[in-house]
Amino acid sequence: MTRTFIALDLSEATRVALRGELRRLARALPDVRFVDPANLHLTLAFLGEMDDETLAAVIALAGEVARHAAPFELALAGLGVFGLPTAPRVIWVGVGGETRALLALQRRLAAALEAEGFPREQRPFSPHLTLARLKRPLDAAARQRLDNLLASPASTSASQATRWRVADLRVMRSELAATGARYTALSVAPLTGGSDASR
Catalytic residue numbers read 41, 128
> Helix count (H) and strand count (E) of the chain?
5, 8
DSSP string, 25-82: HHHH-TTS-BPPGGG--EEEEEEEEE-HHHHHHHHHHHHHHHHT---EEEEEEEEEEE
* Collapsed DSSP state (helix, strand, coil) of residue 171: strand
